[in-house]
Amino acid sequence: MQPTRTRRRRSAPHARPAAHTLLAALLTLSPLIPSPVSHAQVVQDRKPAPIEVPELAPSITRLLEQSYLTPEQARDLRLHHGIWRDEDLASPALRARAALTTARFWDDSLRSPDADPLDRAEALIELGDPAGALALLDAPHTPHPSHSTLALRAARLRAHALFDLGNADDASRSLDRVASLMADQQITLADEMAEGVRALLLRARMKGPWRDAQQDYRTITTLLARARDELDRLAWSPRLAEAELLNTKDNRREARQAAIETLRLNPSCAAAWRLLGHMSVDQFDFQTSESIAARLDELAGKIASEDNARSPWAAEIRARAQLRQRDAAGAIEILTPALAAHPTMRSLLALRAAASAASFDAPDTDARLASFDALSRATPLSSLALYEVGRTLSDNRQYELSDAFLRRAVEREPHWAEPLIERGLMLAQAGRDVEALDTLRAAKALDPFNVAVDNSIKLLTELLTYQRFESEHFIVRCKPGRDTILAREMLPALEAMHDRVCSPDNGGIDFKPPVRTTIDLMPNHEWFSVRITGMPGLHTMAAATGPIIAMESPSDGPGHLVGPYDWLRVVRHEYTHTVTLARTNNRIPHWFTEAAAVYLEDAPRDTRTVALLANAYAADRLFDLDAINIAFVRPRKPTDRSQAYAQGHWMYQYIVERFGDRAPLDLMDHYAKGTPEEAAFRTVLGLSRADFFTAFKQWAGDQLIAWGARLPPGTPDAQSLIEQAASPAHSPAQAIERALEAHPDHPELLAIAVEAALRERRGIPDPSMTDLLERAAAARPMDDAPHRALARIYLTTATANNPAEDIEARAIPHLEWLDAREVHSPAYAAELARLYAERGDHARAHDKALRVVRIAPFDADSRETAARIAIVAKDYNAARHQLEALIAIEPDRELHKKRLAALEALAENN
């Protein structure tokens, strides 16, 4: 549903447009570039804050305060709820229970014959020793006094061990026994109910639904609800099972809620923390995932005194986060010591194979997959490693390779929905929509309640109804309705963009993608996010997945993230990714593809970017070629990722200026062959990466001087000059003025003087500041403050009927400076269109009017202005297009139709 546009008063021809109010507001905002070097402020590195542990449920506290509890009962309650004391772990059996809760599977207590065999078997399965677990489960034993021996738990563990060993028939019989017990017995223990549910989920993965997928899911949720709400309100295992189930359905909100409820009943439950860590990684919340990994390490050391306790589940979360951020080397670095300690742990082995795949090491990937399968004694049943490799390759946009591994995973486990879901989402990103829809429908038959599947099926089904607009290199798709206005006029601009980006000249990539690129113009932010990830909540307005670029319609109102924006600049960035990824077989370093994309936006740096670079240079915190990639994927402070974008662009510019337009392209060709960056730099640039960085820093320092953001060596800083000029007879303002008289072009002094003058005038500049501001603009050409102030002075002076007829014209260069750096507001372009039109410069007026329309394509005032300027210029086709757009935007206004009819008559007479 489209947002309702608020009716605004129309402006008369050549009168100030409604956007002028916005322009005045923008010209009042004047953040200065922080003064160079001496005033640089650097944000200190931040470690992730410790994760907040949910408050223990008050009902548990009240229960433990009951006087009727024996010491043993109180001890067992503390153990069960994860709040034990050191003295509670007085025996190997008691310690083993605590070790299992905290995922300390290697603890000596879990090898003790005094521990519960089921606890020991579970630990062995987690560590990758299903044969050892099966031997324990098959050995005759009596119920252990420290822990209830649950028939359903034993059956689940047996089935899990047999599954890992490749014994499908025996695993199936064990799971059928669970199904029979769940159907025939009246389960009275909440923990046993949870065990039965976990076994039924494994059975569904192995054999498919035992009745009907929807009915099975409802049965399971009913059983969990009974365990949670009727059998034992303080039992945490049903809540954990519910959280795990909901997470497989991509129901993040309710899964997280169930995991938090688990931790309120057992704050030491490592399985709940692990699940929250996985969800954080999936949502790109890497600070939270790192805090959770630290919590898991803390739990792993909770019952032992050694300093080197490291949770393998913490390593798993950290490695998964690095893979999610395309840092394969970082994942391998994390997994290597974890696997040295736990060499047969299947979750770690699967991730290690995925890390090799992300490193484009096909032989090692195959070898690790073979090693994973060799852990089974018979034909392997588990497709976990294949699935992890396939999903990681999908994240790395290696769609054909991903498809090969995901197909193998689906063939091996045809009843497990996860590989099928991942394949369907991957195919959607690859632009194979019909195949994706078929795959996701098959996944829905296995898992009718998965949110991402449901969202994606709805989206892909809707995409089939979208209108298509095609040109030589692009397909634009949009929902029928208002967005067709924009979609129709995108193609000429996109083709011009293609010529620029793919050109061999002026820093172009000199490469054409092998297939047409599809631009999906999504009607709102939610559908844009679903198009990219299958889920809502993506925090940007456009993204490329290779041959597909999705963009949120540049509109304001409910359902939109950022409102209007310069869609062409944003899409040019994303299309550059499409081209560079295609040219390099998706093997381009992260910093380099981002650098090329920013470079080919063809937009000058704004003030904030210059300030960020100046501060980093002053503090000697520019990233080297290792650190810049880490800054994209593992930012240590809030500004790291922004600096990585800005500095990457800066380094790319340096390569072009020093080594020529071909140098980045030659580097890309080496990346495509798999050449390491060090070797590529030596071959193409004749420099090691370290020498390149040294040379770049020297060049960067000179650029900062030219920008007025760094003082030349030997130049005294502003503060010392002001102190020299100061005397008891002079005010601070007079001291600044005296210092500036002696050093009239000193960029730091000029910045301080402008700031002081604006402060004195409460932020409103006046004509007496003109000379100071013009000098500041010349000395600090990347600072927007003088341009904003000068534009405001010239425009407001003209409004006050200043006798100088050309006073408004003097605002034009400053408005052009500001407009070139603006992404979201059409106010500068609208004012420039008015100024050019008043001076009879119809070509420039029309160009600016089209820029206004590009940023705010559904704003009626912008379309009216563009139509009016086109009519004055006698460009009746352009005027007709704008009036037809107006009719589509406001179909209820007869005035637009009358204007179009009048235009047709005018065109006939001319």
Q: Are 834 and 16 in contact (CB under 8 A)?
A: yes
Residue 17 has pLDDT above 50, yes or no: no
pLDDT at site 653: 97
CA atoms of 840 and 797, how far apart (whole Å): 21
Radius of gyration of the chain from its Cα atoms, rounded to whole angstroms? 33
Q: Residue 27 has what pLDDT?
A: 66
- Which amino acid, residue 735? A
**Whole-angstrom distance, CA of residue 578 vs CA of residue 572:** 10
Q: What are phi and psi of 693, to 5 degrees?
A: -65, -40
pLDDT at 331: 95
Between CA 910 and CA 906 the distance in angstroms is: 6
Question: Out of 38-52, 60-74, 124-138, 318-332, which region has the weakest mean confidence (pLDDT)?
Answer: 38-52
* Torsions phi, psi for 432 (to 5 deg): -95, 70
C-alpha–C-alpha distance, residues 39 and 45, integer Å: 19
More confident residue, 140 or 331: 331
Closest CA to 316 of 274, 372, 359, 260: 274
Is pLDDT larger for residue 28 or for residue 51? 51
The residue whose two tokens read 């000193």 is 746
- DSSP assignment of 821-857, as one string? T-SS--HHHHHHHHHHHHTT-HHHHHHHHHHHHHHST
- The pLDDT of residue 411 is above 90: yes
Q: Could you tell me if 540 and 576 are in contact, meaning their C-beta atoms sit under 8 angstroms apart?
A: no
CA-CA distance, 369 to 383, in Å (whole number)?
10
> How does DSSP classify residue 37?
G
- Reported as a pLDDT band with limits 50, 70 and 90, residue 736 is confident
As a whole-number percent, the residues of the chain with pLDDT over 70 amount to 89
| Lowest-confidence region among 254-268, 500-514, 545-559 | 545-559
For 231, the 3-state DSSP assignment is helix
Report which of 902, 850, 845, 898 is spatially closest to residue 876, judged by C-alpha positions: 902
Mean pLDDT score, 437-452 = 91
Which residue, among 240, 241, 183, 179, has the nearest Cα to 206 in the 3D structure?
179
Average pLDDT over residues 95-114: 95
Confirm if 565 and 554 have CB atoms less than 8 A apart: yes
pLDDT band, residue 540 (cuts 50/70/90): low
pLDDT mean over 423-428: 93
Nearest to 288 by CA among 55, 53, 54, 48: 48
Lowest mean pLDDT among 170-184, 423-437, 660-674, 790-804: 790-804
In 3D space, the residue among 24, 42, 35 whose CA is nearest the CA of residue 751 turns out to be 35
Asked if residue 32 has pLDDT above 80, the reply is no
Side chain identity at residue 51, one-letter code: I
Q: Is pLDDT of 223 > 90? A: no
C-alpha to C-alpha distance for 618 and 279, rounded to whole angstroms: 39
Backbone dihedral region of 436: left (phi > 0), alpha (psi from -120 to 50 degrees) or beta? alpha
Q: Which of 107-111, 188-192, 408-412, 621-625 has the lowest mean pLDDT?
A: 188-192
Indicate the helix (H) or strand (E) that contains 591. helix 590-599
Q: Please give the residue that has the higher pLDDT: either 643 or 806.
A: 643
For residue 38, the number of C-alpha atoms closer than 13 Å in the C-beta half-sphere is 14
Locate 866 and state its tokens.
């563009």
Mean pLDDT of 356-368: 95
pLDDT at 378: 86
Our separate counts of H helices and E strands in the chain read: 44, 5
Q: Are 567 and 574 in contact (CB under 8 A)?
A: no
Q: Whole-angstrom Cα distance, residue 804 to residue 586?
A: 58
Maximum C-alpha span of the chain: 106
What are the strands of the beta sheet with 467-470, ordered from one edge?
A: 467-470, 474-478, 517-522, 548-552, 542-544
Name the nearest CA neighbour of 578 among 553, 550, 612.
550
Q: For residue 224, which of 236, 235, 238, 210 has the smallest C-alpha distance?
A: 238
* DSSP conformation class of 313: H
DSSP 439-452: HHHHHHHH-TT-HH
- Check: CB of residue 625 under 8 Å from CB of residue 655: no
What is the three-state SS of 182-202?
A: HHHCCCCCHHHHHHHHHHHHH
Average pLDDT over residues 162-181: 90
| Beta-bridge mates of residue 467 | 478
Statement: residue 512 has pLDDT above 60: yes
Q: Answer yes or no: are the C-beta atoms of 798 and 808 closer than 8 Å.
A: yes
Confidence of residue 54 (pLDDT cuts 50, 70, 90): confident
Whole-angstrom CA distances from 744 to 305, 380, 573, 706 are 67, 79, 40, 16
Q: Residue 562: is its pLDDT beyond 80? A: no
DSSP, res 86 = G
pLDDT given for residue 530 in this prediction: 55
- The answer on pLDDT for 616 being more than 80 is yes
Q: CA 326 to CA 336: how far, in whole Å?
A: 17
- Given a contact cutoff of 8 angstroms between Cβ atoms, the answer to whether 369 and 353 are in contact is yes
| 28 has a pLDDT exceeding 90 | no
Q: How far apart are CA 241 and CA 224, in angstroms?
A: 8
Average pLDDT for the chain: 87
Give me the pLDDT at residue 34, please.
39
Q: Which two tokens stand for residue 852?
A: 């206004």
3-state secondary structure 771-790: HHHHHHHHHCCCCHHHHHHH
Virtual torsion, Cα 320, 323, 327, 330, nearest 10 deg = 30
| pLDDT average, residue stretch 802-830 | 86
Q: Is pLDDT at 14 greater than 70 in this prediction?
A: no
> Is pLDDT larger for residue 493 or for residue 285?
493
Contacts of 768 (CB under 8 A, 6+ apart): none
**Residue 185: its pLDDT value, please?**
63
Count CB atoms within 10 A of the CB of residue 6. 7
pLDDT at 33: 41
Q: CB 197: neighbour CB atoms within 10 A?
A: 26
Question: Which residues face 735 on adjacent strands?
Answer: none
State yes or no: pLDDT of 30 exceeds 50: no
Q: In Å, what is the CA distance from 622 to each residue of 117, 657, 690, 753?
A: 56, 19, 13, 29
Phi, psi of 101, rounded to the nearest 5 degrees:
-60, -40
Q: At what angle do helices 312-324 and 270-282 cross, to 10 degrees?
A: 10
Whole-number Å distance between alpha carbons of 626 and 832: 44
Q: Distance (Å, rounded) from C-alpha 296 to C-alpha 290?
A: 10
Per-residue pLDDT at 737 = 86
| Strand pairing class (548-552; 517-522) | parallel
Q: What is the mean pLDDT of residues 347-369?
A: 96
Q: Which two tokens stand for residue 707?
A: 């920008």
pLDDT at 537 over 60: no
What whole-number distance in Å separates Cα of residue 705 and Cα of residue 780?
A: 9
Q: Give the lowest-confidence range in 54-68, 209-223, 414-428, 517-531.
A: 517-531
Highest mean pLDDT among 35-39, 172-176, 659-663: 659-663
Rounded-to-integer distance, Cα 437 and Cα 453, Å: 10
Please choose, from the candidates 462, 492, 493, the residue with its C-alpha nearest in 3D space to the C-alpha of residue 478.
462
> 103-141 burial, b if ≥16 CB within 10 A, otherwise e?
bbbbbebbeeeebbbbbbbbbbbbbbbbebbbebbeeee
Strand-pair category, 474-478 with 467-470? antiparallel
Percent of the chain with pLDDT over 90: 59
**SS3 readout for 632-657:** HHCCCCCCHHHHHHHHHHHHHHHHHH
* Closest among 199, 246, 253 to 447, alpha carbons compared: 246
Mean pLDDT for 253-279 is 95
